Amino acid sequence: MADLAELLPETKGMVVALGLPIMHRAANYNAVCLVADGHIVGLVGKRFLAGDGIHYEPRWFKGWPAGKFVQWEHDGHSYPLGDQIFEVGGLRIGFEICEDAWVPNRPGVELASQGVDVICNPSASHFAFGKHEVRKQIVIGASRSFGAAYVYSSFIGNEAGRVIYDGECMIAASGHLIAEGPRLGYDDVYLTSAVIDVDLARMIHARRTAGPAVDDNLRRITRFDTQLPVADLPPQEPLPAPAWPDDKREEFSRAVALGLFDYLRKSRSRGFVVSLSGGADSAAVAYLVHLMVTLATQELGVAATCARLGLPEDSCTTPRAIVRALLTCVYQSTANSSDTTRNAARAVAEAVGAEFLEFDVDPLVRAYVRTVEGAIGRELGWKSDDIALQNIQARARAPGVWLLANLRGALLLATSNRSEAAVGYATMDGDTCGGLSPIAGIDKAFLRQWLRWVELEGPAGVGPTPAVRAVNVQAPTAELRPAGAKQTDEDDLMPYPILDVIERAAIRDKLAPKEVYRVLASRFPEHGRDQLLLWIKRFFRLWSQNQWKRERYAPSFHLDDENLDPKTWCRFPILSGGFAHELAELDHAVAQGG
């Protein structure tokens, strides 16, 4: 409340809604305070709390009881708190707070029955693919069915590490969207405004309302006398076209870039280090850092971007110079590395403007192998020690890039994707090293498709990056076995599109193995029964064996409803039965023709 008191003088001549936590009778509530002309009018508690997925609001707050109204005492003052409608200067204002609008028995129904003119929805609604369109339909639909102007605002940026907010603001009236703000921008504050014809909205609402009038005692009405400004109604014009298409590839690009920007400045890091292998994942991470700088400078300008990131303006006079100052890419070769990946890594680093370094880590690998061979009294060989010899190469790459990141005060970015996380196709303390894993929330099949789009088209206002072709023409490979083995990820695992379908069916949709088989048999009829069974069994066994790895992954960004992060979305025991019973049921069902 002390912070609220400081803000009150700034609200002269305005009606402002401010979110804050409050304590009432030993319970914490998520609330919004309506302030008018420098005075507190009253407070409304959030009724429905978000407790699914990444949200755990009930750990901190209680949901406000429906219909409850009290006088809240604080510092010798009393304020109306609870289910109420505010009448300010003759305008009736009600609130739905974030999750309140996403439930069937939402407060808006009660507000509409008492003829509110404006429903405000202050939100901290996380970004997810396609969620923008869902929000838009909620806002437009509410303005139509409730007969009130609906004002929706949301948080912007990477607030605490994993969750990105797109800052979406919308105003709708009578079933029409009349104002919409930008999304996933780099400024701290955006103003979205509209002039609303309140009398017209009241008339339309009166025509649509059937039945007897509802007693005003349903919700208390708290009044505040003031003179609201009257504005001339401007001619209705079409909303301007959005700055970029409503497309998953655009959303991914801009959400991760914004997430990186805020993570960099809030962690007070002085840049990024990426172990650039010449493959798809690390190329995507390097490009996203480049895109972060491109989009930030397009919106804020070079000087403001440097100021936000703590860079010396005199030495960072262009976007490319900023990338050079922030991003170091390191290609770390072993005896099994190829010129193809080395050249691809160099081409990508040059295209994005990063500093490019090369480390030869093969002497380190050989030294570790010799040390262990001497201790156990035998030579290691690929036939008997395949996994161990692969993993030591990945792990030998970790100390050098960690050292470089420490020297520069930079953040080491891990490059694992969600498909690899699902089956543990990564070396713990090797390629999983890093303080942040920006693409661990996205599947490999989408990532490869997105990189082809980056090569040929690219984000709106940015354009293509042809150098990415050097990565796109390769089959994904860990490049840890000798060249003669012709190692590829999909030979080790299964085709990535199939892996991703299994993951969604098994983990997101909670289907048993025999049900997953039916999904695959329908989606991929070109593959035989035995092959599908092999892939399904491999997935479930690898998933179960590798939960310990997922527990140790660096934080990742939440991008959709398929996150595998055990700390925020997808909990699973580290030790389990490995679906042995369910896989036996799968064999039986398929043998019986099911």
| Residues contacting residue 97 through CB under 8 Å, at least 6 positions apart | 19, 30, 31, 32, 44, 46, 47, 121, 122, 123
| Residue-wise pLDDT tens digits, 159-204 | 999 999 999 999 999 999 999 999 999 999 999 999 998 988 888 8
Closest CA to 139 of 157, 166, 125, 119: 119
* Fold that domain 2-224 belongs to in CATH: Nitrilase/N-carbamoyl-D-aminoacid amidohydrolase (3.60.110)
Residues of the chain within CATH 3.60.110.10 domain(s) are 2-224
| Residue-wise pLDDT tens digits, 362-383 | 999 999 999 999 999 999 999 9
Which pair of structure tokens corresponds to residue 73? 């005492």
From residue 6, alpha-carbon distances to 1, 56, 223, 226, 578 in Å are: 9, 30, 23, 21, 57
CB atoms within 10 A of CB 338: 14
| Residue-wise pLDDT tens digits, 583-594 | 999 999 999 876
Q: Check: CATH 1.10.10 for 494-594? A: yes
H-helix or E-strand spanning residue 153: strand 149-154
Helical axes 248-266 vs 280-300, angle rounded to 10°: 80
Residues of the chain within CATH 3.40.50.620 domain(s) are 248-490
Question: What burial letters (b/e) apply to 537-555, b meaning 16+ CB within 10 Å?
Answer: bbbbebbbebbebbeebbb
Which pair of structure tokens corresponds to residue 41? 């009018």
Residues of the chain within CATH 1.10.10 domain(s) are 494-594
Dist. CA 594–CA 175, nearest whole Å = 49
| Residue-wise pLDDT tens digits, 422-472 | 999 999 999 999 999 999 999 999 999 999 999 999 999 999 999 999 999
pTM: 0.94
**Banded model confidence at residue 483, pLDDT cuts 50, 70, 90:** confident
- Domain 248-490 CATH class label: alpha beta
